[in-house]
Amino acid sequence: MVEWPNKVEESILNEILQFIEYLKKNHLNEKEWEFVPAYNSLTLICKDTVLDFDYLKPKLKEWYGIKGEVAPATRFQWRLPVFYDLEFGLDLEEISGQLGLSVERIVELHSHSIYTVYGIGFLPGFMYLGGVPKALEVPRKSAPRPKVLKGSVGLAGKQTGIYPQDSPGGWNLIGKCPVPMFNVKKDNPCFVNVGDKIQFYPISKAEYQLHQIEAEVGIYNIEKIVLDA
Protein backbone atom coordinates (compact mmCIF):
# COMPACT_ATOMS: atom_id res chain seq x y z
CA MET A 1 0.00 0.00 0.00
CA VAL A 2 1.20 3.47 -0.89
CA GLU A 3 -0.09 6.47 1.04
CA TRP A 4 -0.26 10.18 0.37
CA PRO A 5 -1.03 12.92 2.94
CA ASN A 6 -4.26 12.40 4.89
CA LYS A 7 -6.38 14.88 2.93
CA VAL A 8 -9.30 14.82 0.53
CA GLU A 9 -7.84 16.67 -2.46
CA GLU A 10 -8.20 16.28 -6.20
CA SER A 11 -4.48 16.84 -6.72
CA ILE A 12 -3.69 13.81 -4.53
CA LEU A 13 -6.24 11.66 -6.33
CA ASN A 14 -4.76 12.72 -9.68
CA GLU A 15 -1.26 11.77 -8.52
CA ILE A 16 -2.54 8.32 -7.54
CA LEU A 17 -4.34 7.81 -10.86
CA GLN A 18 -1.25 8.90 -12.79
CA PHE A 19 0.91 6.50 -10.80
CA ILE A 20 -1.50 3.64 -11.59
CA GLU A 21 -1.28 4.40 -15.32
CA TYR A 22 2.49 4.56 -15.16
CA LEU A 23 2.75 1.25 -13.28
CA LYS A 24 0.31 -0.49 -15.63
CA LYS A 25 2.14 0.70 -18.74
CA ASN A 26 5.68 0.09 -17.55
CA HIS A 27 6.05 -2.35 -14.69
CA LEU A 28 3.03 -4.17 -13.33
CA ASN A 29 0.98 -6.30 -15.70
CA GLU A 30 -2.77 -5.82 -15.23
CA LYS A 31 -3.29 -9.57 -15.48
CA GLU A 32 -1.13 -10.11 -12.42
CA TRP A 33 -1.98 -7.05 -10.36
CA GLU A 34 -5.00 -5.28 -8.93
CA PHE A 35 -4.93 -1.55 -8.28
CA VAL A 36 -7.31 -0.20 -5.63
CA PRO A 37 -7.23 3.61 -5.31
CA ALA A 38 -9.17 5.44 -2.57
CA TYR A 39 -8.86 9.08 -1.42
CA ASN A 40 -5.16 9.20 -0.39
CA SER A 41 -4.04 5.60 -0.85
CA LEU A 42 -3.21 3.06 -3.51
CA THR A 43 -3.27 -0.62 -2.65
CA LEU A 44 -1.47 -2.98 -5.00
CA ILE A 45 -2.52 -6.61 -4.82
CA CYS A 46 -0.48 -9.32 -6.51
CA LYS A 47 -2.24 -12.45 -7.70
CA ASP A 48 0.83 -14.52 -6.96
CA THR A 49 1.13 -14.52 -3.19
CA VAL A 50 4.86 -15.18 -3.27
CA LEU A 51 6.03 -11.61 -3.48
CA ASP A 52 9.40 -10.12 -2.72
CA PHE A 53 8.29 -7.06 -0.77
CA ASP A 54 11.86 -6.01 0.04
CA TYR A 55 12.58 -5.84 -3.68
CA LEU A 56 9.34 -4.09 -4.59
CA LYS A 57 9.34 -1.40 -1.89
CA PRO A 58 12.40 0.57 -3.07
CA LYS A 59 11.39 -0.04 -6.69
CA LEU A 60 8.01 1.62 -6.10
CA LYS A 61 9.75 4.65 -4.60
CA GLU A 62 12.11 4.78 -7.55
CA TRP A 63 9.28 4.45 -10.08
CA TYR A 64 7.24 7.15 -8.36
CA GLY A 65 10.28 9.45 -8.53
CA ILE A 66 10.83 8.98 -12.26
CA LYS A 67 7.23 8.68 -13.45
CA GLY A 68 7.01 12.41 -14.33
CA GLU A 69 3.79 13.70 -15.84
CA VAL A 70 1.69 10.82 -17.09
CA ALA A 71 -1.58 11.22 -18.91
CA PRO A 72 -4.08 9.44 -16.66
CA ALA A 73 -6.66 7.13 -18.23
CA THR A 74 -9.57 8.94 -19.89
CA ARG A 75 -11.99 10.23 -17.30
CA PHE A 76 -15.64 10.94 -17.71
CA GLN A 77 -18.25 13.13 -16.15
CA TRP A 78 -21.50 11.20 -15.90
CA ARG A 79 -24.94 12.83 -15.73
CA LEU A 80 -27.26 10.69 -13.66
CA PRO A 81 -31.03 11.28 -13.41
CA VAL A 82 -32.60 11.40 -9.95
CA PHE A 83 -36.30 11.39 -9.09
CA TYR A 84 -36.21 13.66 -6.04
CA ASP A 85 -39.55 13.06 -4.41
CA LEU A 86 -41.05 12.26 -1.04
CA GLU A 87 -42.00 8.79 -2.37
CA PHE A 88 -38.37 7.66 -2.39
CA GLY A 89 -36.74 10.62 -0.66
CA LEU A 90 -37.98 9.39 2.68
CA ASP A 91 -35.87 11.89 4.62
CA LEU A 92 -36.35 14.97 2.41
CA GLU A 93 -38.86 16.60 4.75
CA GLU A 94 -36.86 15.82 7.87
CA ILE A 95 -33.56 17.19 6.58
CA SER A 96 -35.40 20.17 5.13
CA GLY A 97 -36.22 21.02 8.74
CA GLN A 98 -32.74 20.19 10.02
CA LEU A 99 -30.97 22.25 7.37
CA GLY A 100 -33.48 25.10 7.27
CA LEU A 101 -33.78 24.74 3.50
CA SER A 102 -36.83 24.08 1.37
CA VAL A 103 -37.02 20.73 -0.41
CA GLU A 104 -36.70 22.61 -3.72
CA ARG A 105 -33.51 24.30 -2.51
CA ILE A 106 -32.04 20.95 -1.39
CA VAL A 107 -32.73 19.48 -4.83
CA GLU A 108 -31.23 22.54 -6.52
CA LEU A 109 -28.06 22.45 -4.42
CA HIS A 110 -27.63 18.68 -4.76
CA SER A 111 -28.07 18.68 -8.53
CA HIS A 112 -25.95 21.78 -9.21
CA SER A 113 -22.78 20.37 -7.66
CA ILE A 114 -20.26 18.24 -9.48
CA TYR A 115 -18.96 15.36 -7.39
CA THR A 116 -15.66 13.49 -7.60
CA VAL A 117 -15.49 9.70 -7.21
CA TYR A 118 -12.82 9.23 -4.53
CA GLY A 119 -13.31 5.51 -4.12
CA ILE A 120 -15.57 2.55 -4.87
CA GLY A 121 -16.24 0.05 -2.09
CA PHE A 122 -18.50 -0.98 0.80
CA LEU A 123 -20.82 -2.63 -1.75
CA PRO A 124 -20.13 -3.54 -5.40
CA GLY A 125 -20.52 -0.27 -7.34
CA PHE A 126 -20.90 1.97 -4.28
CA MET A 127 -19.19 5.33 -4.98
CA TYR A 128 -17.63 7.51 -2.32
CA LEU A 129 -18.47 10.96 -3.72
CA GLY A 130 -16.77 14.11 -2.50
CA GLY A 131 -17.90 17.69 -3.13
CA VAL A 132 -21.13 18.00 -1.14
CA PRO A 133 -21.98 21.71 -0.61
CA LYS A 134 -21.55 22.84 3.02
CA ALA A 135 -25.22 23.79 3.20
CA LEU A 136 -26.21 20.14 2.61
CA GLU A 137 -23.99 18.57 5.30
CA VAL A 138 -26.30 16.64 7.56
CA PRO A 139 -25.42 13.86 10.02
CA ARG A 140 -26.32 10.28 9.14
CA LYS A 141 -29.48 8.92 10.74
CA SER A 142 -29.14 7.86 14.36
CA ALA A 143 -30.69 4.46 13.60
CA PRO A 144 -29.87 2.87 10.23
CA ARG A 145 -32.74 1.47 8.16
CA PRO A 146 -32.68 -2.33 7.87
CA LYS A 147 -33.42 -2.04 4.15
CA VAL A 148 -32.65 0.79 1.76
CA LEU A 149 -33.83 0.17 -1.80
CA LYS A 150 -31.40 -0.22 -4.69
CA GLY A 151 -30.95 3.11 -6.49
CA SER A 152 -31.69 5.26 -3.42
CA VAL A 153 -29.69 8.48 -3.31
CA GLY A 154 -28.42 9.43 0.12
CA LEU A 155 -26.70 12.25 1.98
CA ALA A 156 -24.46 11.85 5.04
CA GLY A 157 -21.93 14.39 6.30
CA LYS A 158 -19.59 15.37 3.49
CA GLN A 159 -20.72 12.44 1.36
CA THR A 160 -23.47 11.64 -1.08
CA GLY A 161 -24.03 8.50 -3.13
CA ILE A 162 -26.28 5.85 -4.59
CA TYR A 163 -27.04 2.48 -2.98
CA PRO A 164 -26.20 0.02 -5.81
CA GLN A 165 -28.28 -2.78 -4.27
CA ASP A 166 -30.83 -3.27 -1.49
CA SER A 167 -28.87 -2.94 1.73
CA PRO A 168 -29.10 -1.74 5.31
CA GLY A 169 -28.08 1.90 5.47
CA GLY A 170 -27.96 4.99 7.63
CA TRP A 171 -27.83 7.78 5.07
CA ASN A 172 -30.60 10.35 4.65
CA LEU A 173 -32.56 9.41 1.53
CA ILE A 174 -33.44 12.20 -0.88
CA GLY A 175 -34.40 10.45 -4.10
CA LYS A 176 -33.89 7.52 -6.43
CA CYS A 177 -31.75 6.99 -9.52
CA PRO A 178 -33.13 4.59 -12.17
CA VAL A 179 -29.69 3.78 -13.64
CA PRO A 180 -28.18 0.58 -12.19
CA MET A 181 -24.68 1.25 -10.84
CA PHE A 182 -23.62 -2.37 -11.06
CA ASN A 183 -24.44 -4.99 -13.69
CA VAL A 184 -22.76 -8.39 -13.47
CA LYS A 185 -23.78 -9.22 -17.05
CA LYS A 186 -21.31 -6.65 -18.41
CA ASP A 187 -17.57 -7.20 -18.85
CA ASN A 188 -17.10 -3.94 -17.03
CA PRO A 189 -19.80 -4.35 -14.38
CA CYS A 190 -19.54 -0.77 -13.11
CA PHE A 191 -19.19 1.99 -15.72
CA VAL A 192 -17.74 4.51 -13.25
CA ASN A 193 -14.04 4.61 -12.35
CA VAL A 194 -12.34 6.27 -9.40
CA GLY A 195 -11.44 9.79 -10.56
CA ASP A 196 -14.59 10.26 -12.66
CA LYS A 197 -17.12 12.97 -11.88
CA ILE A 198 -20.83 12.71 -11.29
CA GLN A 199 -23.58 15.25 -11.73
CA PHE A 200 -27.18 14.56 -10.82
CA TYR A 201 -30.19 16.12 -12.54
CA PRO A 202 -33.84 16.07 -11.44
CA ILE A 203 -36.42 14.11 -13.40
CA SER A 204 -40.18 13.59 -13.12
CA LYS A 205 -41.90 10.38 -12.09
CA ALA A 206 -42.80 9.65 -15.73
CA GLU A 207 -39.18 10.05 -16.78
CA TYR A 208 -38.07 7.92 -13.85
CA GLN A 209 -40.37 5.10 -14.92
CA LEU A 210 -39.28 5.41 -18.55
CA HIS A 211 -35.56 5.34 -17.68
CA GLN A 212 -36.13 2.40 -15.38
CA ILE A 213 -37.68 0.39 -18.22
CA GLU A 214 -34.94 1.50 -20.62
CA ALA A 215 -32.30 0.45 -18.11
CA GLU A 216 -33.96 -2.93 -17.57
CA VAL A 217 -33.94 -3.76 -21.27
CA GLY A 218 -30.47 -2.29 -21.65
CA ILE A 219 -31.18 0.62 -24.00
CA TYR A 220 -30.64 3.48 -21.57
CA ASN A 221 -27.67 5.57 -22.61
CA ILE A 222 -26.00 7.35 -19.75
CA GLU A 223 -25.00 10.88 -20.65
CA LYS A 224 -21.28 11.47 -20.33
CA ILE A 225 -18.63 13.94 -21.32
CA VAL A 226 -14.90 13.33 -21.54
CA LEU A 227 -12.93 15.31 -18.97
CA ASP A 228 -9.60 16.86 -19.81
CA ALA A 229 -6.77 15.31 -17.87
Partner 1 sequence: MLNILKPGFFTTVQDTGRFGYRDKGVPVAGAMDSFSVSKVNTLLENNEKCAVLEITMTGPELKFEKDTYIVLGGAEMTVTLNDTAVENYKVYKINTGDILSYGKLTKGFRAYLGIKDGFNPPSVLGSRSFFKPITEQDTIKKMANLPYSTCKHFNPKISELKVDSVLDKSVLEVHKGPEFKLLTDKQLSQLFYTDFSVANENNRMAYQLNEIIEGNKTSMLTSATLPGTIQLTPSGKLIVLMKDGQTTGGYPRILQLTDIAMSVLAQKKSGDHFKFKLK
- Least separation in angstroms between CB 92 and partner 1: 26
Contact assessment for residue 76 and residue 225, using Cβ atoms and an 8 Å cutoff: yes
Selected range binding partner 1 among 27-35, 85-93, 171-179, 203-211, rule: CB under 8 A: 27-35
Taking CB under 8 A as the rule, does residue 128 contact partner 1?
A: yes
- Least separation in angstroms between CB 88 and partner 1: 20
Selected range binding partner 1 among 89-97, 114-122, 136-144, 213-221, rule: CB under 8 A: 114-122
Selected range binding partner 1 among 69-77, 103-111, 120-128, 140-148, rule: CB under 8 A: 120-128
Binding-site member from 25, 27, 43, 209 for partner 1 (CB under 8 A): 43
Binding-site member from 10, 34, 62, 93 for partner 1 (CB under 8 A): 34
Please give the residue ranges that form the binding site for partner 1 (CB under 8 A). Answer: 1, 3, 6, 8, 30, 34-41, 43, 45, 47, 49, 118-126, 128, 164-165, 182, 184, 189-190, 193-194
